[in-house]
Structure 1
Amino acid sequence: MFKNNFSQILLTLLFMSSISCSNDEKEGEQKDAIAPSITCLSPINVNIDTTAKDAMVTYTTPEGTDNIAGAVTRQTSGLASGESFPVGTTTNTFVVTDAAGNTTSCSFDVIVARNNPSENMPYFIGDDPTPTGKKWTSVAELSDEFNTDIFDDSKWFRDPSQDQFGWYGREPALFQPDNVSVGDGSLNVMVKKLQTPITSNSRNWTHGGAILRSKTKAISGYYYEARMKANETVMSSTFWIAFPQNCNSGPFRKLELDIQECVGRTHSGTDSWAKEWDNIYHSNTWRHARTCDINISVQRPGKKDLEEKNHSRYFVYGCWWKSPTEILFYLDGEYVYTIKPSTDFDLEGHITMAMETYDWNPIEPENDLTATGTEEQRTTKYDWVRTWKLEDL
């Protein structure tokens, strides 16, 4: 009896041992700790025609490899080879997964850039709004390529004491002519923190900005555009048309046509409504309150939130002041929106570019780029300002 029981136990142990060995072998087969491999392409740069909307880009699709057959590669972001890529940067990411679940990924960028707009006509992409039988002609007095190293004082006021507006800035940033210069093919307007604060007209100025105004007047019917790169500080970068006003001699209405108004950065102290003002295309028409006109200011704004910061690159901001009652706005050559102002915009104004501070986006003492930023970060750059009028063919 004992012998039979012992034999039975021995057989059972041998059987269990064989199962264990079998399981160990299977587990050994599944323990693949080697990650697969995948290599992506270098960045692909594509330049397209000024009026093109996108570019068809083909590339060799990355394919992962592994030490064991069965690895699968899939694209998790971006666009596939042969698709149309928009202007800007598209990041393409690929992930390879092996049979054991190990993964490896890689990415590369497709960067599509348009050639610079033609100097022979306004920048239009898609539908061209030029009326039949008409052509655009440059208005030289209201245009500047900034291609010399000498500021053109015959075209622009940069000293607010010399224009007729008498506006020296919004506290705490004082408009200073010395902050304006030209060089490297652009108009450069620097903002800064003053080494020594200035007290003037019962105001305390701790920062410096600047304002420029055209000496020739801007009128309805013209097309206005600027290629501008904003500074990175809390201060503004702008392109607009200002209208003088006088309650004694007229004009009695105080108008303002903003083509682009933005800031370089916002922060925790920025008013809630302005949190996106560092990545925005913002335009507006104002009829400001004056004692000889209306009691409450009226505005008609338009805006488009951008996926890029205004200081990330040059943007082309355009405005066709088509008539006193209809104003069309363009961004990088594409139509964005139309504003119909609350009153006729039938007055003459001045192209204006102002870098100033706002109380709704105040200086942030603990992170004041006007003091700590590089010269590049503190500078708004205008590649050019161009104005066009319609004439018969």
Structure 2
Amino acid sequence: MIQKKLIFISSIFLILISTSCGGAEDTVADTEKPIINCQANITVAIASTESEAKVDYPIPTATDNVGATVTQTSGLTSGAMFPIGTTTNTFRAKDGAGNLATCSFDVIVTRNPPANNKPYFIGSDPTPSDKKWTKVSELSDEFDGTTFDDNKWHRNPATDGFNWIGRAPGLFESENVTVSNGNLNVTVKKFVSPKTVNNTVFTHGGAIIRSKALAKQGQYYECRMQANKTIMSSTFWISFKQNCNTGPLRKLELDIQECVGRVHSKTESWAKNWDQIYASNTWRHKQNCDVATSLQSPGKTILTEKNNSRFFVYGCWWKSPTEILFYLDGKFTHSIKNPPADFDLEGYITMAIETYDWNPVDEADNVFTSGSFDDLTTKYDWVRTWKLENK
């Protein structure tokens, strides 16, 4: 009898072991990812004098067959102060089995355009207490409508008195300059077939615009510009004429802003950040009747955003022949003091979209053939010039 009971108990034990092992084999691993959905992008416009905005948003939730936790992996938390530009907020859902899912949305903070009745200053205003700024109409343009103002600007390099048709392989062509949607547009292109002009071969088209009125020391110059997305430049500067016979002997150049839309592996090492830069300079170019070597005194501010990511306001107070102050979106950024010559001559506001040998055409870049109008276009919302007068 005892022997039969032992056999019976052993049988039950074996059945239990068998059932336990069989259950392990039948267990299915959890591979189902959580489901997490983020909201749509948030766009906030703030006053032209502000630099950030408080943004609240609901934290994304996740669903899962066994439950999941949600954590934020990048961006700023709800209720934080978001800076000008785009901040990407990314969230991750993770369940107990380690399955992951993510989602993202952008908070885009933009500034409203500054007032058009005075220069754009944020924070410290450099205006002398006994002075006021008055707009110089012949050197200012809002670029409203659809007509280029030939009374204020040259767009044909054959008529502006400089006779510069471009730096190969970029050719200046007036047909690339238009006015639409409240902007002055310079749209670059790659020619279907190279063009030969003055025994020089050109493969790409850009443009140059110059003021007909003279720019003078003491005035404040600003433009609201968005760069194109190509290897070509986007610029705002003052050019000066020179003549060894009639003068002036000095060949000056005052660069307010000079950047490119794209850099790549063949860009010169010193220019690797020129797609996100506020680059200014003062030049005294070499001339047979003047200096034998070009002299320069630069100033720059590195940006956290690409120049083509949005419109920036670039400002320059040509305060004196030896002091020039530069502003970005209304804030003082850098200065050039004691340039390589006294900047006491009169010049011309210039906007040139050109090519450079230090940022050569990149054959791997197909933006010239597949890019949109926005990709290929440097846009100027406005150009404004101001002079100081007694109150």
Q: Same fold (TM over 0.5)?
A: yes
Question: Of the candidates 205, 208, 214, which is equivalent to residue 208 of structure 1?
Answer: 205
Structure 2 counterpart SS, 1:377 = helix
Alignment of 1:292-303 (within 5 A): 292-303=289-300
Report the alpha carbon displacement of residue 368 of structure 1 after superposing the two structures with TM: 5.4
Alignment of 1:214-225 (within 5 A): 214-225=211-222
Q: Contact 1:233–1:368 (CA<8 Å) still a contact in 2? A: no
Report the alpha carbon displacement of residue 195 of structure 1 after superposing the two structures with TM: 4.3
- CA shift in 2, pair 1:139/1:366, >3 Å: same
Separation of aligned partners in 2, 1:323 and 1:352:
20
Letter in 2 for 1:350: Y
**What is residue 103 of structure 1 aligned with on the other side?**
100
1:323 aligns with 2:320: yes
CA deviation vs aligned residue, 1:304-325 (integer Å, no higher than 9, x gap): 3334332232222111112222
Structure 1 counterpart SS, 2:44 = strand
Report the alpha carbon displacement of residue 343 of structure 1 after superposing the two structures with TM: 2.5
More moved, 234-243 vs 159-168:
159-168
More moved, 183-192 vs 216-225:
183-192
Alignment of 1:1-393 (within 5 A): 18=16, 31-68=29-66, 71-340=68-337, 341-367=339-365, 369-371=367-369, 373-393=371-391
Q: Contact 1:46–1:111 (CA<8 Å) still a contact in 2? A: yes
More moved, 305-314 vs 206-215:
305-314
Separation of aligned partners in 2, 1:309 and 1:354:
19
Separation of aligned partners in 2, 1:193 and 1:46:
37
Identity of aligned residues (%): 59
CA deviation vs aligned residue, 1:220-261 (integer Å, no higher than 9, x gap): 121111111222222211110011112222212111111111
Q: Contact 1:44–1:110 (CA<8 Å) still a contact in 2? A: yes
CA deviation vs aligned residue, 1:122-175 (integer Å, no higher than 9, x gap): 222233222223222111111001112221111111222222222221122222
More moved, 117-126 vs 364-373:
364-373
Separation of aligned partners in 2, 1:200 and 1:31:
71
Separation of aligned partners in 1, 2:255 and 2:143:
22
More moved, 9-18 vs 55-64:
9-18
Separation of aligned partners in 1, 2:100 and 2:350:
55
What runs of 5+ residues in structure 2 fail to find an aligned partner? none
Letter in 2 for 1:127: S
Structure 1 counterpart SS, 2:61 = coil
Structure 1 counterpart SS, 2:36 = coil
Report the alpha carbon displacement of residue 203 of structure 1 after superposing the two structures with TM: 2.1
Report the alpha carbon displacement of residue 199 of structure 1 after superposing the two structures with TM: 3.2
Separation of aligned partners in 2, 1:176 and 1:351:
18
How well do the aligned residues superpose, as a CA RMSD in angstroms? Answer: 2.8
Separation of aligned partners in 2, 1:295 and 1:65:
73
Separation of aligned partners in 1, 2:26 and 2:281:
70
Letter in 1 for 2:154: F
Separation of aligned partners in 1, 2:89 and 2:129:
43
Letter in 2 for 1:345: F
Separation of aligned partners in 2, 1:306 and 1:5:
89
**TM-score for both structures, normalised by structure 1:** 0.89
Separation of aligned partners in 2, 1:176 and 1:167:
11
Separation of aligned partners in 2, 1:24 and 1:283:
76
- CA shift in 2, pair 1:220/1:12, >3 Å: farther
More moved, 345-354 vs 333-342:
333-342
Structure 2 counterpart SS, 1:79 = coil
Separation of aligned partners in 2, 1:156 and 1:22:
89
Report the alpha carbon displacement of residue 371 of structure 1 after superposing the two structures with TM: 5.0
Q: For this pair of structures, how many residues does the alignment match?
A: 390
- CA shift in 2, pair 1:21/1:265, >3 Å: same
Separation of aligned partners in 1, 2:360 and 2:123:
39
Q: Contact 1:53–1:125 (CA<8 Å) still a contact in 2? A: no
